[in-house]
Amino acid sequence: MAVALRGSALALILYDVAEEIRLEELRPAKRVGPSFKHAAPEYVRFQRPPVVLDLEPLVLSSGERFATRFKYYDYGVVSVLFEYSFESDWASLIQLASRWMGSGDFERYASTIARQQIARSPGALVKPHRDWLEEDYFIFHLTHVDGSPSAEELLRECGDRIAGVVRGETEPLSAAERSEVLQSSISYYPDDLTVIGWHAAFLYDTTAGAQTAIQLLEYANSQLLEFRHYDEWLTRELERVYPTLVRRGSLIRRWGMARQATRLQTVTLEVTELAERAENAIKFLSDMFAARLYRLAAAKVGVIDYKNLVNQKLRTARELYSFMIEQFQQGRAFVLEVMVVIILIIELGYLFRGK
């Protein structure tokens, strides 16, 4: 007999649109509502809370109706979230997950919405990006499973189905892959469960209880987007510097290094500042479970990997800066020495001529 499920499926699309968004320029013009139906938990707090807009529902030609929400983050990211309520069985839920993750429809709808919203407040964007980086993520949230199983029972009896939802795979997964998916699970109470994958997550919790996980998953994906941007930015700057370093030295090239070194140092400092602001945007106040949940989400979606890449390139940039300044100093010292020799020769010439 099919197991009856009730809950909601959420498609989250995020864009990196600018270096910064002036939230104060948005708030006077728009009312800021809470995320979903409940306010954010007091123990998960943003230093500068994002601006949240509840938009008109998206209704597809198939009749599917999606609650739609738009959010501005001060560090230059916007997100569009579509929420769809459902009642189904496991097979239908797995089919839904597979169809959503394999479709580009949500990205097209979200892109249109994001550009429409940003066009209404273009002055709020600081250093807007011409090309937007994008991340998508899917959350499948069950509020009810027939029999009201505990988290342990749900993992034991329906672990293969949960893994199928998280991976978006309609075919059964191998035992090793199933184990790998379910290892990324976390619970606070006996009757709640969160399983996090790199592209989707499964939640079994009340509507109010799931808000922390949903908010942290969105925040982790926004951080991933930012670190991807910083990684690409640093890559471009380093590629600009490398050709200069491999050419044979000359006085003119060494003098030009000072300008390039200054530019590289400016970019390094700017990336460091922006990365710290994005990373410290949210605080966990005396709630270690929320902090553990965030660390798990950050590791699974790739934030840690990209953060390490950015830190490596920042170290490389600092080393290159020191090398370029050293080369410039050597060139300047050589020029000064030559000038001193020339002055001495001139003075000796006058001296001998005077005799």
Give per-residue pLDDT as tens, 88-97.
Answer: 999 999 999 9
Contact (CB, 8 A) for 20 and 74: yes
Give the residue with greater pLDDT, 116 vs 268: 116
User: Which residues are bridge partners to 128 per DSSP?
Assistant: 18
Token couple for 355: 């005799």
199 and 300 part of one domain: no
Please give the average per-residue pLDDT across 312-330, as a whole number. Answer: 72
User: In degrees, to the nearest 5, what angle opens at C-alpha 192 toward C-alphas 190 and 199?
Assistant: 140
Q: Does 251 have pLDDT greater than 60?
A: no
Please give the average per-residue pLDDT across 181-186, as a whole number. Answer: 95
CB atoms near residue 335 (< 10 Å) = 13
* Distance from C-alpha of 309 to C-alpha of 316, rounded to nearest angstrom: 11
The mean pLDDT of the chain is 83
Give the residue with greater pLDDT, 275 vs 208: 208
Rg, C-alpha atoms of the chain: 27
Contact (CB, 8 A) for 73 and 229: no
Phi and psi (nearest 5°) for 287?
Answer: -130, 95
Q: How confident is the model at residue 339 (pLDDT cuts 50, 70, 90)?
A: confident
Q: Does 237 have pLDDT greater than 70?
A: yes
Least confident segment among 112-116, 261-265, 287-291, 310-314: 261-265
Please give the average per-residue pLDDT across 46-55, as a whole number. Answer: 87
Q: How confident is the model at residue 284 (pLDDT cuts 50, 70, 90)?
A: low
Q: How confident is the model at residue 250 (pLDDT cuts 50, 70, 90)?
A: low
Give the residue with greater pLDDT, 278 vs 223: 223
Give the residue with greater pLDDT, 217 vs 38: 217
Q: Does 221 have pLDDT greater than 90?
A: yes
Hey, is 192 helix, strand or coil? coil
Q: How confident is the model at residue 34 (pLDDT cuts 50, 70, 90)?
A: very low
Helix (H), strand (E) at residue 185: strand 185-186
Q: How confident is the model at residue 270 (pLDDT cuts 50, 70, 90)?
A: confident
Please, is 280 exposed, middle or buried when counting C-beta atoms within 10 Å of its C-beta (0-12, 13-18, 19+)? exposed
Q: Does 32 have pLDDT greater than 50?
A: no
Least confident segment among 101-105, 113-117, 170-174, 189-193: 101-105
272 and 199 part of one domain: no
98 and 202 part of one domain: yes
Contact (CB, 8 A) for 214 and 139: yes
Q: Is residue 237 part of a domain?
A: yes
Q: Is residue 24 part of a domain?
A: yes
Give the residue with greater pLDDT, 150 vs 351: 150
90 and 174 part of one domain: yes
* Distance from C-alpha of 195 to C-alpha of 202, rounded to nearest angstrom: 5
Q: Is residue 214 part of a domain?
A: no
Q: Is residue 215 part of a domain?
A: no
- Counting every residue written for the chain, the total comes to 355
Q: Does 322 have pLDDT greater than 90?
A: no
Contact (CB, 8 A) for 140 and 165: yes
122 and 271 part of one domain: no
State in Å, rounded, how far the first CA of the chain is from the last one: 118
Domain that holds residue 258: 220-351
CB atoms near residue 3 (< 10 Å) = 16
Boundary residue ending a domain (169, 184, 209): 209
Provide the domain count of the chain: 2
Q: Does 153 have pLDDT greater than 50?
A: yes
Please give the average per-residue pLDDT across 168-191, as a whole number. Answer: 94
Q: Does 55 have pLDDT greater than 90?
A: yes
Boundary residue ending a domain (151, 183, 209): 209
